[in-house]
Structure 1
Amino acid sequence: MIKNIVLYNQNCNSRMKKNNFEEETNSMPEKKYEKIAEEVLQKVGGSSNVKYLEHCSTRLRFNLVDNSKADIEGLKAIKGVMAVIVNAQFQVVIGQDVTEVYDVLAKSVTVGGAVDVKEPVKTKKGFKKYASIFLDFLIGVFNPLVPALTGAGLVKSIFTILVTAGVLTKNDGIYQVFIAASDAVFYFLPVIIAVTTAKKLGCDKIVALAIAAVTLLPAFTTAVASEAGVSIFGLMVPNYSYSSQIFPAILTVVLMAAVEKSFRKVCPKPLRIILVPVVCFLVVTPISVLFLSPLGFKMGELFTAGLLSLHSSFGWIIVAILGAILPFLTAVGMHKPLVPYATAAFASTGFDYINAPAKIAHNISESGACFAVALKTKDADYRAVAFSAGISAFFGISEPALYGVTLQNKKAMAGVVIAGFISAMVTSLLHLRSTVMMGTGILGIPQFIDPANPNNLYVALLGYVLAISISFAVTFLLYKEEK
């Protein structure tokens, strides 16, 4: 796998050496966005070949009607494209200008699964095919949550710091307002999940939100919790608290998408706008409150129990291994399945013991390795690439370091892997946990401020120091300039 990663990134590395890295990724004129978007759209087979499009912090993520219509080599040759990755999704790595390129692309294609096209050509068989479909579904549902979750996490961290420093008290109105704003993201997670799931499945997002919101409606929850309870068709509605839950909304919207799609086929077109939502409400709502939402709640309980058991038994081993292999997972786009885990972990327990410690170890290790390469290389252009990529990794974006430096040099990658393993292992053994969902660069330090455990912050700082110092030292000792 490492060999294949290196091969498909060699073109990217040679191009980045020939062009000033900062000019290509940090100060791209607006007209360049349009040019890149136009070329990318052409090379993926045109707008008619795009079934779904979204973006994360550095990548355009496509679902194509037919992957074979995409010109992968042509995509990698586009100035401004760092790499192309094909697995559960067709990914084009742009870097920090991905949002601007996406905004241009979104004007040319129908986003969110609304376009009526044939299903993608199935090139995989059996387990691999269904695993790929499931992974694509998870990424599509949870990836859009990241900005809201990380933004809310940063707000909560800021006001926690202000209270800890004595600037504010918990009784101050401004504290209560902003803490409520950050808590609202998790409290109303079911309806947010309903929207992203509906977007991924291509069904009506507002109807999905409304049905998912039933279990959070105060009048309904009060009635269900009363002594008399609520019964439908002679069956009692189970009394569970669905705030901050994930699985009930997903199960509900999956059913709604199936009902909507099926009824739309037989419903007369002039009546669809009225009858399709009515049928969705009438069919999906009772099934949701009686069966799917309770089932999803129990799934959440099992997930939490399994998570706690796994961490107590093998936690440090898992975190250490994850810290070591994250560069390869990130390179092929397989790090995104950690987002559903992290979201569920925070929603269920309020903490994350695995994802954040491992990602800190990886990102900061990438930074240290790049700084070592920048110091030792005699190539002025490559020095600029390495230094800029190291800064980017230090602030939490590892792709420029991966594709521009470490994947191209085994000695630098050795520094990243060794430092990632040791740093993640030490912090996990010392029970490091993240209290909110944030990025894992240097700006993510506030997520480790834990009023219940003041030492948690010092453990996190130790992890940062170990990651950057070990990766720098190992890379500096091993690195040799390659011809």
Structure 2
Amino acid sequence: MSKQYAPLAADIVRLVGGKANITEAYHCQTRLRFALKDESAVALDELNATEGIAKTLSKGGVFQVVVGMHVKDVFDEVERELGDLSANAKDDDGPAKGKRKNVGSAVIEFVSSVFQPLIPALSGAGMVKALLALLVVLKVVNTGSQTYVLVNLFADAVFYFLPVLLAFSAAQKLKISPILAAAVAATMLHPNWVALVTKKEPVSFFEILPFPLVNYSGAVIPIILVIFAQYYVERSLTRVIPKSVNLVFVPMLTFLIMGTLALGVLGPIGSILSGYLGSFFTFLSTNAAWAPALLVGATLPVMVMFGLHNGIAPLGVVQLAQTGKESIFGPGALVSNIAMGAASLVVAFRTKDKKTRQIATAGGITGLMGITEPILYGVALPKRYPLIAAMIGGGAGGLYAGLSQAHRFATGSSGLPAVLLYIGDNTLVNMINIIIALVISAVVSAVLTFILSFKFEKSAGEATAAADDAVAAPSGR
């Protein structure tokens, strides 16, 4: 583990109010996220002025510090600084003073924090599926071969057992036992249950409660409902059962209660809700296939600023689990990121400021790879015109992606390597269409950025020159 970020981590912990002010800390791809007791204790101006911090913001009761792609290294040092936060969490009286989460913000934050730890597994599995699809198209591997079955198994396990992974992650967020939650999810995927579903004969519990025959492999909504219920069941059992026998009877009763609720009530309800979502996806793909890619492609930077993308991205996972393909979030996110990367590289070419050029060059490269927050906060927002150009370029590319009905067959990062995710159904059509969409986004964004730079960079250059002249001019005495 690199120690180079230890001073930055120490400064961040100190400036957000110290360890005593933090009840929870985690991170996403570029941001440190803190649940704070009192946000008024944050030294905001000093924090924003700290080298290594791109921006700070507070959304939905979560204080966020944008540090860039090395966030994992910074977070490792933050964890060292914080140690065990369990005492803080127990003493926490609720959200930061004066800031109560609304329902929408709370839901988005919960969904985001639950899916975030799964991104590496989903991305890795998605890229394996993309590679396998490419090998099939190139006729290197035959779909009937054992090699195909085994490689597909390597990737498909993540999606098949997604309920178990989601259960573990959600339980960590809700601060109940992740192992018990994963075990409850595993009952919904047990081979014996799958055999009963396949047999298609009525199943009832004690001849009273019918268990609807539902296959929960890859399910998202059912397991989230189950773990929400388990939160209340497990907490209640822990309070009621004496500590001397807590270790035995809490798990036993949790399995009995949650197994019954999962297969008899909550799982089927979640399956019905998933069916409605599936109908919505079908309606979109039939009547307005262009809309999601256009809207996400044009507005993703704004969504990222307000954290709204965290509520949309999981819909893509649900769509993929239900239909085997995804077009709600992936295509729009991909063209938007490429547009942002192209705009940033043009700024690097046009700007006369060395620091801006350095940020724009590095950010442009990472943007093309799918990470745009360094560009957003370091270049696009301060200068404005690259943001406008990138949103227009992303919208143009998104419109083509939507009209051509480009969709991906696995989840993964939203950068150039993701074009492989669009190989599927034994054809390259989707990959070709998304590449055309990327070219449109990049060209439109780059051209607009270049044209606008003549006005905005000229003004910035004149201001800099005027300042230099004022410094160099004689005093007049």
Does residue 38 in structure 1 map to residue 10 in structure 2?
yes
Amino acid in the other structure paired with 1:437: T
8 Å CA contact 1:62, 1:90 repeated in 2:
yes
Rounded to whole Å, the distance in 2 between the matches of 1:315 and 1:122 is 44
Higher relative contact order (CA 8 A, sep 6+): 1
Give the Å deviation of 1:418.
Answer: 1.1
Q: Residue 354 of structure 1: SS of its match in structure 2?
A: coil
Identity percentage of aligned residues: 31
Q: Any gaps of 5 or more consecutive residues in structure 2? A: 464-477
1:420-442 Cα distance to aligned partner (Å, 9 max, x none) = 11110111111111111011211
Amino acid in the other structure paired with 2:67: I
The 3 A distance-change label for structure 1 pair 271 and 71 is farther
Q: 1:199 aligns with which of 172, 179, 188?
A: 172
8 Å CA contact 1:232, 1:286 repeated in 2:
no
The 3 A distance-change label for structure 1 pair 249 and 113 is farther
Q: In the alignment, which residue of structure 2 is the partner of 1:254?
A: 228
Rounded to whole Å, the distance in 1 between the matches of 2:236 and 2:245 is 15
Rounded to whole Å, the distance in 1 between the matches of 2:225 and 2:144 is 39
1:210-266 Cα distance to aligned partner (Å, 9 max, x none) = 112112111233245463633236122111111111112111111111011122223
Rounded to whole Å, the distance in 2 between the matches of 1:457 and 1:226 is 39
Worse-matched range after superposition: 280-289 or 192-201: 280-289
Q: Residue 85 of structure 1: SS of its match in structure 2?
A: strand
The 3 A distance-change label for structure 1 pair 216 and 83 is same
The 3 A distance-change label for structure 1 pair 59 and 387 is same
User: Aligned pair count?
Assistant: 453
Q: 2:316 aligns with which of 327, 342, 364?
A: 342
Q: Residue 177 of structure 1: SS of its match in structure 2?
A: helix
Give the Å deviation of 1:342.
Answer: 1.4
Counting only pairs closer than 5 Å after superposition, residues 388-467 of structure 1 correspond to structure 2 as 388-467=362-441
Q: In the alignment, which residue of structure 2 is the partner of 1:55?
A: 27
Q: In the alignment, which residue of structure 1 is the partner of 2:140?
A: 167
Amino acid in the other structure paired with 2:372: S
1:94-132 Cα distance to aligned partner (Å, 9 max, x none) = 11110111122223244799942322246356xx62222
Amino acid in the other structure paired with 1:33: Y
Q: 1:142 aligns with which of 98, 115, 125?
A: 115
The 3 A distance-change label for structure 1 pair 243 and 114 is farther
Rounded to whole Å, the distance in 2 between the matches of 1:421 and 1:405 is 20
Rounded to whole Å, the distance in 2 between the matches of 1:455 and 1:443 is 17
Rounded to whole Å, the distance in 2 between the matches of 1:154 and 1:244 is 18
The 3 A distance-change label for structure 1 pair 308 and 117 is farther
Give the Å deviation of 1:415.
Answer: 1.1
Q: In the alignment, which residue of structure 2 is the partner of 1:101?
A: 74
Rounded to whole Å, the distance in 1 between the matches of 2:242 and 2:284 is 52
Rounded to whole Å, the distance in 2 between the matches of 1:384 and 1:195 is 41
8 Å CA contact 1:113, 1:201 repeated in 2:
no
Rounded to whole Å, the distance in 1 between the matches of 2:88 and 2:213 is 36
Give the Å deviation of 1:453.
Answer: 4.1
Rounded to whole Å, the distance in 2 between the matches of 1:432 and 1:221 is 33
Amino acid in the other structure paired with 1:97: H
Rounded to whole Å, the distance in 2 between the matches of 1:435 and 1:178 is 16
Q: In the alignment, which residue of structure 2 is the partner of 1:86?
A: 58
Does residue 264 in structure 1 map to residue 256 in structure 2?
no
The 3 A distance-change label for structure 1 pair 220 and 450 is closer
Rounded to whole Å, the distance in 2 between the matches of 1:72 and 1:311 is 45
The 3 A distance-change label for structure 1 pair 386 and 112 is farther
Worse-matched range after superposition: 54-63 or 115-124: 115-124
Amino acid in the other structure paired with 2:109: D
Q: In the alignment, which residue of structure 2 is the partner of 1:181?
A: 154
Q: In the alignment, which residue of structure 1 is the partner of 2:124?
A: 151
Rounded to whole Å, the distance in 1 between the matches of 2:378 and 2:202 is 65
The 3 A distance-change label for structure 1 pair 228 and 306 is closer
- State the TM-score, normalized to the length of structure 2: 0.90
Q: In the alignment, which residue of structure 2 is the partner of 1:314?
A: 288
- State the TM-score, normalized to the length of structure 1: 0.89
Q: Any gaps of 5 or more consecutive residues in structure 1? A: 1-28
Q: Residue 405 of structure 1: SS of its match in structure 2?
A: helix
The 3 A distance-change label for structure 1 pair 121 and 157 is same
Q: 1:76 aligns with which of 21, 41, 48?
A: 48
Q: In the alignment, which residue of structure 2 is the partner of 1:325?
A: 299
The 3 A distance-change label for structure 1 pair 355 and 111 is farther
Q: In the alignment, which residue of structure 2 is the partner of 1:19?
A: none
Rounded to whole Å, the distance in 2 between the matches of 1:182 and 1:100 is 27
Amino acid in the other structure paired with 2:26: E
1:6-44 Cα distance to aligned partner (Å, 9 max, x none) = xxxxxxxxxxxxxxxxxxxxxxx9333111111111222
* Structure number with bigger Rg: 2
Amino acid in the other structure paired with 1:131: G
The 3 A distance-change label for structure 1 pair 358 and 112 is farther
The 3 A distance-change label for structure 1 pair 274 and 437 is same
Q: Residue 384 of structure 1: SS of its match in structure 2?
A: helix
